[in-house]
């Protein structure tokens, strides 16, 4: 075991509120433990272009409350090639970086896993994505904030939906995971959530119209996860217009609103805990693990598990939504 004297930190993939809180936590915990910190800008791209700066404790002052990421993020095609990763490794050696902390989603952790295998670099991942789709952690950094943003938006949409007696399809993010749609629907009192996890099992629209949308309700809101599997909100609005023309349908796509905003207390605390744990893991000589949180305890999840395993949506949540939407 060799001593880690210097770590590199980067944010990669889609941004998520709370990433700055994680950057602050990693930086300060490292410095507290006598480890030098180098900030890598624009994700893996910065490792290739050499856009790197040493961070001191004051570099992360006053960022805990900010959304986005001060390190910027970019999707990097070059890093997907062996040649690009070779350049990245040479940059690390030149900068004297002994280990990497990567904050991002499954794509970012996949990149870290391949890089770690090829060059034997200790890599620690932090789950930073609003989608909450990483296996082995109860929540990801940014998920709680995005959920609250959705809640805020749907509350406002309900005002107009009720006034006009309309059926609204609200499209939320989540890629191939229905966590934002399902929990957003429960929290906002929506009538249904159409999620990719069940897209093959039943016709979710038909089931909703059959069960939920009765004449006694003067408006209805359905949350739809954006996904090729569901077809998104527009797809369902079209179907309603064709199959159930008696309903007055509208669509709202929340889009990148959900990525922004100041992180909630939950996300700030989560990011702070996970960031500190990342440095603990490095000092314990851990490598190629994602730091997660399960039942309020810090856990180390091997990259292979965090990326490959699909995180299941809890069936009982679906039942709760069904029972409460009568």
Q: Is the pLDDT of residue 216 over 60?
A: no
Q: What is the mean pLDDT of residues 237-264?
A: 92
pLDDT digits (tens, 9 = 90+) for 12-70: 999 999 999 999 999 999 999 999 999 999 999 999 999 999 999 999 999 999 999 99
Query: In this structure, what CATH number is given to the domain that contains residue 117?
Result: 3.40.50.450
Handedness of CA 202, 247, 193, 319 (dihedral sign): negative
Which secondary structure element, helix H or strand E, spans residue 29, and what is its range?
Answer: helix 19-32
Residue 298, in any domain of the structure: yes
Structural domain boundaries enclosing 112: 6-142+263-308
Residue 324, in any domain of the structure: no
Q: Which of 98, 106, 131, 267 is catalytic?
A: 131
Do 80 and 182 belong to one domain? Answer: no
Give the pLDDT band of residue 214 (cuts 50, 70, 90): low
* Nearest-5° Cα angle at 74, 257 to 136: 75
Do 188 and 43 belong to one domain? Answer: no
Distance (Å, rounded) from C-alpha 56 to C-alpha 38? 9
Which pLDDT value is given to residue 205? 73
3-state helix, strand, coil in the chain (%, to 5): 45, 20, 35
For 24, phi then psi, to 5°, come to -60, -45
Q: Is the pLDDT of residue 279 over 70?
A: yes
Residue 171, in any domain of the structure: yes
Query: In this structure, what CATH number is given to the domain that contains residue 175?
Result: 3.40.50.460
Do 120 and 162 belong to one domain? Answer: no
Confirm whether 106 is a catalytic residue: no
Q: Which of 27, 295, 310 is nearest to 196 (CA)?
A: 310
Do 134 and 31 belong to one domain? Answer: yes
Do 53 and 160 belong to one domain? Answer: no
Residue 44, in any domain of the structure: yes
Q: Is the pLDDT of residue 202 over 60?
A: no
Q: Among 53-57, 72-76, 321-325, which stretch is predicted with the lowest mean pLDDT? A: 321-325
Q: Is the pLDDT of residue 179 over 90?
A: yes
Do 298 and 198 belong to one domain? Answer: no
- How many domains, the chain? 2
Residue 323, in any domain of the structure: no
DSSP 153: H
pLDDT digits (tens, 9 = 90+) for 134-169: 999 999 999 999 999 999 999 999 998 888 878 899
Do 47 and 191 belong to one domain? Answer: no
Close Cβ partners of 240 (under 8 Å, ≥ 6 residues apart): 167, 169, 205, 209, 247, 249
Residue 314, in any domain of the structure: no
Do 16 and 115 belong to one domain? Answer: yes
Which secondary structure element, helix H or strand E, spans residue 250, and what is its range?
Answer: strand 249-253
Handedness of CA 165, 166, 172, 178 (dihedral sign): positive
């Amino acid at each position: 075991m060799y001593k880690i004297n210097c770590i590199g930190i980067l944010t990669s993939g889609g941004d998520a509120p709370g990433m700055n809180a994680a950057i602050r936590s990693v930086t300060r915990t490292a410095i507290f433990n006598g480890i030098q910190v180098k900030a890598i800008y624009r994700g893996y791209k910065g490792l290739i272009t050499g856009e790197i700066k040493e961070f001191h404790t004051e570099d992360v002052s006053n960022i805990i409350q900010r959304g986005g990421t001060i390190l910027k993020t970019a999707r990097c095609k070059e890093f997907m090639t062996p040649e690009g990763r070779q350049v990245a490794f040479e940059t690390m050696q030149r900068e004297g970086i002994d280990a990497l902390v990567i904050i991002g989603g499954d794509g970012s952790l996949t990149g870290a896993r391949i890089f770690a295998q090829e060059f034997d670099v200790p890599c620690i991942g932090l789950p930073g994505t609003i989608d909450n789709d990483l296996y082995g952690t109860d929540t990801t950094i940014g998920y709680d904030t995005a959920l609250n943003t959705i809640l805020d938006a749907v509350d406002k949409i309900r005002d107009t939906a009720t006034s006009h007696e309309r059926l609204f399809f609200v499209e939320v993010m989540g890629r191939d995971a229905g966590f934002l749609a399902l929990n957003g629907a429960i929290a906002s009192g929506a009538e249904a959530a159409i999620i990719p996890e069940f897209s093959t099992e039943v016709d979710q629209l038909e089931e909703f119209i059959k069960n939920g949308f009765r004449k006694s309700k003067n408006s209805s809101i359905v949350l739809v996860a954006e996904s090729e599997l569901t077809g998104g909100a527009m797809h369902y609005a079209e179907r309603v217009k064709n199959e159930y023309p008696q309903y007055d349908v509208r669509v709202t796509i929340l889009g990148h609103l959900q990525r922004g905003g100041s992180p909630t207390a939950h996300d700030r605390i989560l990011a702070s805990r996970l960031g500190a744990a990342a440095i603990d893991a490095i000092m314990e000589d851990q490598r190629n693990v994602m730091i997660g949180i399960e039942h309020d305890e810090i856990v180390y999840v091997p990259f292979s598990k965090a990326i490959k395993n699909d995180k299941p949506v809890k069936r009982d949540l679906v039942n709760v939504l069904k029972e409460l939407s009568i």
